[in-house]
Structure 1
Amino acid sequence: MSGAGYDVVVDVDDEGDLGHTDLQEDLEFHASNFATDAANARKLPGSSSGLPAPATNGGSSKRFLWTLSFYAQFFDVDTSSVLSRCWAALYPRANFLDVLEGNPDLYGPFWIATTVVFILFLGGTISQYLAHTGAAEPFEYDFRLLSGSAGLIYGYTFVIPIALFLALKYSGSEAANILECLALYGYSNIIWIPVALISWSPFALLNWIFVGVGFGISVAFLLRNLYPVLSATERRTSKLLLIFVVVLHAALAIAIEFLFFANKHKKDEPAKPDEPIKDGDPAMLFIF
């Protein structure tokens, strides 16, 4: 029976006698909550029929490869998080996978790689310009540096982590995560931004030192965070993968130095005037 319309509930003791005129010993009065319960029942859909409230999606809908929401989850990060991760890559005080907090992103790796591509092109162009200063012919921009830097940086940042992930899965590692590998390699590129900004000097030895420092910081960052994952595999496999990581990273550093900051372009020497051919010159034999 519905209790709507009642304001007071009357409880009668089991041994009470309604014939008594003194009801204080037999009756207890309590404030009713029927009105509150009825209001709450109107707020919950389906409560009047006794069925539970319908479940909402709550963002748990399935994401498919051909939907934008599938790729949006890899860029679900704010600016402060990206900056803190960049700082953690430059000055690592804790394990980078702990800094990610289970939310690896591709936003930071993509924009870091893009920034490195353009700064390498800019630094390489300045280096070539300084090498050609005073040449007879005017300086011309080499836009092959831009395509070369894009292929080098994007290829290294996104292909090598996938290859490493596949090698870990093939060796039976259960701790491998492709997004974490991509984020780790992507944020390791942050060191090449300051290196590319200062490695365009005309002094080749100084450029080698800058690139070597960048290599040391970035490879130490990679080994520190990859070693716990690689050590979970067989001992021989972990050693091979560690060598694989170090050798490919060294190849990246050497490629950056030779392609952009080697100053291998020499100044063009002025053309010598043609000398007249004298009689008896051996060249006369080829003419006749």
Structure 2
Amino acid sequence: MMSGNYTTIDNQNVSGSVPAVSDSPGQVSVKFNDTSLQTFPPSGAQGKISAAAGPPRDADDTFSKPASGSPESPSSGGWFKIFTVAAYRPYFDVDTSDVLERIKDSLLPFNGSFNEKTANNPDLYGPFWICTTLIFVAASIGTFVTYLAHKLQHKEWNYDINLVTWSAGVFYGYVLVVPLCLYVILKYFSAPSTLVQLFCLYGYSLFVFIPAMCLSVIPVEIFRWAITGVAGIMSALFVALNLRNHIVSAGERWFLIVVGIFLLQLALSFVLKLYLFNVSV
């Protein structure tokens, strides 16, 4: 049926084609083949919208790769990489179960297998938060105990902000300076050890002082000395026994190095007892 220049198509069972009107001049026949039809979205198309959820990706992953010279580029090397976040990202790639397992090993110093377990994945996450927790625990408990001691004797009490700065200097400084010096000594004796492993070992060795500080709230001087001694011996044994196997290759002087490490850790506990575990009015 024709009306002016428009053509009406009757309802027919048409499959993939539109019937052409051959009797009308100037009309073009259009035909759609079934084979040229595609489903949307196309399956298996690379670089286009796929059926799976997620943002579209480039066909050649050109824009998905880090640019050359960027901090995430694997080709960027040299000393400048130590100033990028990507250089330290592998040392924070641990989960809660890993940190808890390493904390448990630090409380069992006689195993001496901490370095072997963390050789392939030493972390700085645990040492950082252990030192940070020690700083706030030392400041808060020291302040609380001092406050109670002054109030019980009806004396005036003033908050000492130096307790926080002093604690930060002791714990952060010890975990940074001592492993660095030990790394230089082990390099001199050609003993196999990495700097990150030493940071990890010394950081976890300080965890035992957290419960020791909490128990120092008890106002009994002998008990505080006993708690400090036990914590210091456990921490010193943990470090010395884990480094012994690596220092044996240093030759005949390995015993002196291990003894020095043990005594240095004990000295730390003695300093903590005098300045953090000691409460006087």
TM-score, length-normalised on structure 1? 0.67
Q: CA deviation at 1:172?
A: 2.4
Unaligned runs of 5+ in 2: 1-44, 47-59, 67-71
Aligned residue for 2:186, secondary structure, equals: helix
What is residue 29 of structure 2 aligned with on the other side? none
What is the CA–CA distance in structure 2 between the aligned matches of 1:66 and 1:144, rounded to whole Å? Answer: 31
1:62 Cα shift? 3.7
Question: Given that residues 112 and 242 in structure 2 are in contact (C-alpha distance below 8 angstroms), is that contact kept between their aligned partners in structure 1?
Answer: no
The structure that has the greater radius of gyration is 1
2:164 paired residue number: 146
Pairwise mapping of residues 181-196 of structure 1 onto structure 2 (< 5 A)? 181-196=198-213
Question: Residue 249 of structure 2 aligns to a residue in which SS?
Answer: coil
SS where residue 68 of structure 1 aligns? coil
Q: What residue in structure 1 maps to residue 148 of structure 2?
A: 130
Alpha-carbon deviation of 1:101? Answer: 4.4
- Aligned equivalent of 2:263, options 233, 242, 247: 247
Measured in 1, the distance between the counterparts of 2:115 and 2:157 equals 46
What are the equivalent positions in structure 2 for 1:39-54 lying under 5 Å apart? none
Q: 2:196 aligns with which of 179, 193, 198?
A: 179
Give deviations 1:136-158, integer Å, cap 9, x for gaps.
Answer: 53211111111111111111111
Q: Which has the higher contact order (CA 8 A, sep 6+)?
A: 1
Partner of 1:215: 232
Distance 1:203 1:169, change over 3 A: same
- Give the aligned partner of residue 108 of structure 1: 126
**Conserved? CA contact 1:88–1:99, under 8 Å:** no
1:258 and 2:274 matched: yes
Q: TM-score, normalization: structure 2?
A: 0.69
Match of residue 203 from structure 1: 220
Alpha-carbon offset, residue 216 of structure 1:
1.4
- Residue type of the alignment partner of 1:257: K
Displacement of 1:65 after TM fit?
2.0
Contact 2:94/2:123 (<8 A) preserved: yes
Match for residue 121 of structure 1?
Answer: 139
| Deviation string, structure 1 residues 241-267 (Cα, Å, up to 9, x no partner) | 22321222111101111111223x24x
Matched positions, count = 212
**Higher helix residue share:** 1
The corresponding residue for 2:5 is: none
Whether the 8 Å CA contact 1:204–1:261 is kept in 2: the answer is: no
Question: Which digits, 9 at most, give the CA deviation of each residue in 1:163-216, with x for residues without a partner?
Answer: 10011111222x121111110000111111111111122111100111111111
Q: Distance in 2 between matches of 1:127 and 1:100?
A: 37
Structure-2 change in CA distance of 1:88 and 1:128 (3 Å)? same
Q: Match of 2:165, as an amino acid?
A: S
Kept in 2: contact 1:212–1:253 (CA 8 A): yes
- Match in the other structure for 2:89: 72
Contact 2:106 2:238 in 1 (8 A): yes
| Structure 1 letter corresponding to 2:214 | L
Q: Quote how far apart the aligned CAs of 1:73 are.
A: 2.1
What residue ranges of structure 1 are gaps of 5+ in the alignment?
Answer: 1-41, 44-52, 267-288
Q: Is it true that 1:97 corresponds to 2:112 in the alignment?
A: no
Alpha-carbon displacement from aligned partner over 1:45-98 (angstroms, at most 9, x marks no partner) = xxxxxxxx99x8997444522322112122122222111111121135460012
What secondary structure, in the 3-state scheme, does the structure 2 residue paired with 1:91 have?
coil
